[in-house]
Structure 1
Amino acid sequence: MSRLIKLLSKKKISSGSKPELSDGPEAQAERLGLFLLKDNTAAINNIDIVAVHGLGGHYLDTWTGDNKNLWLRDSVPSKLNDSGLNSRVFSYGYDSSTAFSKAVTDITDEAAMLLDRIKGERKSQLERHRPIILIAHSLGGILVKKAMIIAHERSSEYGELLGSIKAAMFLGTPHRGSDAAYWATYAANVLKVLQLGRGTNASFVSALQRNSPEFANISQQWIERAAPLKIRTFYETERLLGELIVDKDSARLGIVNEIAIGVAGANHRSICKFSDFNSQKYKIVWNATEELAQYALRPSSTCE
């Protein structure tokens, strides 16, 4: 299974590409954990952005275009700075094949680890009160939701962190689908992409199907946690290997504090990769990012 998961990322980032991390060469060799992509913070107007990849993803590759441009590192911090906003951007890496296709406890464990790592990066009083924006691709959205649910359940430990989460962006995240049949179809489509069209893996499809009640339960429980957030949702408009992996209806939450739009020319893989920062494809995602950042820094960030 791990061999198949690796196929989703077309290319590895070479050692000669732009520096990905500020944590030194040892950290660059790792792929699991919360990695600092860029620290552009200043005295005021600071936000933390945390990106979470989906099934078959990688903390760098998921967000990197064919020309090695990584928008969360190479564009967002500087453009926010131009708007008078300062940011610190992290990307979370985890074993998505284990988290989503084995026992449901693995989702809980992974979400708890995500929370603990974010908390560990926010030690000073100013950092602990810094607004947070969550950005998730595909099933990474399920992990983000579960993390917020756990933060609410363990409020003595994570309540302050939960209160700092002001906004969320979802790219190609399957929000709906409460029945096993939906998740079986989703799993088959994703696996088709992982295998580049060479058939399916019945055990993997069965695993996602088996966990489908938990995915549905997470999405249902999260609706209450979503109430104070400003949410931007993006869905794919082009097929990948003949399939819309997450269609428009599945990608939309359908709640009042969400704005959902399609990304023209984007499939499930390319919806979060941008080679040209001047492109129309990137512009709508950047505009949404800036909007979420401005909202997060408002004195009272409650949705109107």
Structure 2
Amino acid sequence: MDPVGVISFTLIILIVVGGIYTYVSSTLIPIHADPSRETQARRQINHVAVEGLGESAEGIDIIFVHGLGSNPDTTWTARTLTSHRVNWVTELLPNDLKPAPNDLKPDLRPHTRLYFFNYDTDWRRAALKIELKDVAADLLSELIKLAQDSTHHGLSRPRRSFILVAHSFGGLVVKKAVAEAPDDVLDSVRGVVCLGTPHSGVKSAWISKLIAQSWWLLGANAAIFDELRHGSLYLREIQRSYRRATKIRKLRTFNFFEQRPTRFAPFYSEILVPEADATYGDPDDETTNMGMPTDHSGLNKFASNRSPGYDKIRLALVDILGSVVTEMRTNARSRHVVPETLNDQNISCVQLLGPSASQISIGPMSTDEAVQLLSSTIGLSDCKAEAQHPLEHIAGQMGGLPLALDIAGTIIRNSIMDGAVVAAIQRYADDYRDHRDEMLKSEEFRGLHHSRQTVWTAWNSAFAAIGGLSSDHGFLSLTLLSFMAFFAPSGVQSRIFEIASMDLADHDLGDNESCDGASDDSQLWYRTILKNENGSWDRYWYSQTTAILCRFHLLQKAPHDPETFVMHDLIRWRAQQGAMNIPVGPSVYVEFIVAVCRQIGKDPGLRFSLGSMDFSGPESASHTQQHDADRSDFA
């Protein structure tokens, strides 16, 4: 054959091979970036909402971690004989956590929450160039967030524990994350369940790497298989670190290994991760190794609760869950609960009780909770439809404050005549609307109610404790509370104090006629809180006093804005009546608003929010002055 023919034949062969390669890669090799193949698990950590699970604040979070080149949608899903897809995590496990009818064991469902951890290790096409340590760092970050969300002040450990269930490569990710976890997270991890995890590596990893290298034009990630090389020092170090961490805390570990070979071709099959690689050499009391009559891909897929191996995994999870719930109940019996409010009595209780004291914060109730409390106190076994609206109205007027709601329910219960419950509820709502101050201050019902407190006296201990601080801290804090009571319920931004301080540098408080009635103490407080040094607000005393008021739960930071402070409606009412007899006259409030208006009139760049209005620039200044007495925006 002449040279031209050889070259032509070679080109034809290359074109044919390239065409076949392109067709196979585009049709048989999925690309993770393809929207049609995108997993439903959008975030890295995804809570699985299942009815009846996780209703208790304390309990266990089970986090499922998939393996290499997979995702949460497919890893835990099996096909039945009728091609129906079954996700055993969400469809089988929740029902199997409840005890049998005559079983005295606790119901584990209220204490259990389910999560999927999602990460991208699809190594075949357009793969991310990531390593095991990168995925482990992401998992650890999510565990830290979950631990922080479940930790409560005064508790020695978070209220929720973790169980990590991982398939294959996911088990290595879990071990790496646990080995590097800080103590507070590590204390929360109570069990690890590994399904076919290659603790010593995979003997056939070189084949997968060779395939990945042949797909380099598709962007395959061959480097990730270097970490799975059998007997690698990297995996040995992960194992040593993990064992050190788990031995100290007696963390339970279950290793499940496959007993059937995986078929890779019509005439070739082998056990991908044999027992020797999927287990530890010398199991101790905290490590359990168990075989399952399935191949590698069947370790994590179960079509029914009768599928081979499912019951073993279920029993392992129930074993860990049961021990945690039993421990929780034991601790609960020996735990003393102390309100988080900072006063001498509560501080003494915490110091006396030591580790057995758990401090809790009791915040406002939701509308549904408030209506339920009112109904229970009144004696309504079932809230009637005609009573629902007035009860919701009363709950709103009380701002969800438990003490006020309980007292209101007591008064209503004792005013019921001839069984006319709805009429008594409506009568209380009308009286509260017309005579709120008298009703909240009244002490006539003390003999009817188990509490010796009234809404009027509820915060006296807090006021007294703050007043007992050093003269500067106590006086400035209570005066700030009285001053903030003038503002709208939507909150007060720290920014408005900074703007007012700019004006104080140019105008003294006494320069304005509206402040002629301001007391010397009020003027001293005003100058101290708004002190301006060289054109910059010295916010030391503002920060000190707001921190004190927040510690005593008289102020709260807005949920999504730590520089905005809000006050409960009834605390505002009590402060307006005079907190520890330190009133701030309206004249100081008016001068404050005028000072702010002067500054935003001078500087177009200034901006702040007050109530439902946004203020910025000269055009808003006149609008501000026009509305500074509007009660819809200024209390």
Offset at residue 176 of structure 1 (A) = 2.1
Query: Which secondary structure does the structure 2 equivalent of 1:233 belong to?
Result: strand
Query: Which secondary structure does the structure 2 equivalent of 1:272 belong to?
Result: coil
1:173 aligns with 2:161: no
Q: Is the 8 A contact 1:186 1:246 kept in 2?
A: no
1:225 aligns with 2:245: yes
| AA at the equivalent of 2:142 | R
Of the three residues 91, 113, 121, the one matched with 1:88 is: 113
Which entry has the higher C-alpha Rg, 1 or 2? 2
Query: Which secondary structure does the structure 2 equivalent of 1:119 belong to?
Result: helix
Aligned residue for 1:249?
276
| AA at the equivalent of 1:173 | T
Offset at residue 207 of structure 1 (A) = 4.8
Q: Is the 8 A contact 1:31 1:58 kept in 2?
A: no
Mapping 1:166-245, distance limit 5 Å: 166-177=190-201, 183=202, 185-188=203-206, 191=208, 200-202=211-213, 207-209=224-226, 212-227=232-247, 228-241=250-263, 242-245=269-272
Offset at residue 188 of structure 1 (A) = 4.2
Mapping 1:129-140, distance limit 5 Å: 129-140=159-170
Aligned residue for 1:71?
88
* Structure-2 separation of matches of 1:248 and 1:148: 23
Query: Which secondary structure does the structure 2 equivalent of 1:144 belong to?
Result: helix
Q: Which string of whole-angstrom CA distances, capped at 9 and with x for unpartnered residues, describes residues 236-261 of structure 1?
A: 11111201110011111233021111
Aligned residue for 2:288?
259
User: Unmatched 5+ residue regions in structure 2?
Assistant: 1-24, 31-35, 100-105, 215-220, 264-268, 329-635
Percent identity over the alignment?
A: 26
Offset at residue 46 of structure 1 (A) = 1.9
* Structure-2 separation of matches of 1:222 and 1:64: 29
Query: Which secondary structure does the structure 2 equivalent of 1:88 belong to?
Result: strand
* Structure-1 separation of matches of 2:295 and 2:136: 26
Q: Which string of whole-angstrom CA distances, capped at 9 and with x for unpartnered residues, describes residues 79-120 of structure 1?
A: 22445113111111111246xx987x7322221211222333
| AA at the equivalent of 1:231 | T
* Structure-2 separation of matches of 1:137 and 1:7: 22
Q: 1:118 to 1:207 in 2, by over 3 A?
A: closer
Of the three residues 75, 82, 86, the one matched with 1:62 is: 75
| AA at the equivalent of 1:34 | I
Offset at residue 134 of structure 1 (A) = 0.6
Aligned length: 259
* Structure-1 separation of matches of 2:226 and 2:254: 27
Q: Is the 8 A contact 1:41 1:88 kept in 2?
A: yes
* Structure-2 separation of matches of 1:120 and 1:161: 9
Q: 1:170 to 1:30 in 2, by over 3 A?
A: closer
Structure possessing the higher relative contact order (Cα contacts under 8 Å, 6 or more residues apart): 1
Mapping 1:45-56, distance limit 5 Å: 46-56=59-69
* Structure-1 separation of matches of 2:120 and 2:43: 7
Offset at residue 64 of structure 1 (A) = 0.7
Q: Single out whichever of 207-216 and 272-281 deviates more from structure 2.
A: 207-216
Q: TM-score if structure 1 supplies the norm length? A: 0.74
* Structure-1 separation of matches of 2:41 and 2:290: 34
* Structure-2 separation of matches of 1:295 and 1:116: 26
* Structure-1 separation of matches of 2:227 and 2:320: 35
Q: Is the 8 A contact 2:39 2:73 kept in 1?
A: no
Q: Is the 8 A contact 1:131 1:297 kept in 2?
A: no
Offset at residue 296 of structure 1 (A) = 3.1
Q: Which string of whole-angstrom CA distances, capped at 9 and with x for unpartnered residues, describes residues 100-143 of structure 1?
A: x987x732222121122233334143693311111010011110
Q: Which string of whole-angstrom CA distances, capped at 9 and with x for unpartnered residues, describes residues 236-290 of structure 1?
A: 11111201110011111233021111111x1111111000113343112211111
| AA at the equivalent of 2:115 | F
Q: Is the 8 A contact 2:227 2:235 kept in 1?
A: no
Q: 1:188 to 1:37 in 2, by over 3 A?
A: farther
Mapping 1:22-61, distance limit 5 Å: 29-31=40-42, 33-39=44-50, 40-43=53-56, 46-61=59-74
- Supply the RMSD in Å over aligned alpha carbons: 3.3
Of the three residues 154, 173, 184, the one matched with 1:160 is: 184
| AA at the equivalent of 1:139 | F
Query: Which secondary structure does the structure 1 equivalent of 2:134 belong to?
Result: helix
1:293 aligns with 2:301: no
1:141 aligns with 2:171: yes
* Structure-2 separation of matches of 1:48 and 1:210: 29
Q: 1:219 to 1:69 in 2, by over 3 A?
A: same
Q: Single out whichever of 123-132 and 110-119 deviates more from structure 2.
A: 123-132
Q: Is the 8 A contact 1:63 1:273 kept in 2?
A: yes
Offset at residue 220 of structure 1 (A) = 2.1
Query: Which secondary structure does the structure 2 equivalent of 1:118 belong to?
Result: helix
Q: Is the 8 A contact 1:65 1:274 kept in 2?
A: yes
Aligned residue for 2:566?
none
Q: Is the 8 A contact 1:31 1:59 kept in 2?
A: no
Q: Is the 8 A contact 2:88 2:304 kept in 1?
A: no
Offset at residue 163 of structure 1 (A) = 0.6
* Structure-1 separation of matches of 2:40 and 2:301: 22
Q: TM-score if structure 2 supplies the norm length? A: 0.37
* Structure-1 separation of matches of 2:98 and 2:195: 24
* Structure-2 separation of matches of 1:214 and 1:46: 34
User: Unmatched 5+ residue regions in structure 1?
Assistant: 9-13, 16-26, 178-182, 193-198
* Structure-1 separation of matches of 2:91 and 2:161: 21
* Structure-1 separation of matches of 2:131 and 2:70: 17
Of the three residues 158, 165, 185, the one matched with 1:128 is: 158
* Structure-2 separation of matches of 1:102 and 1:30: 18
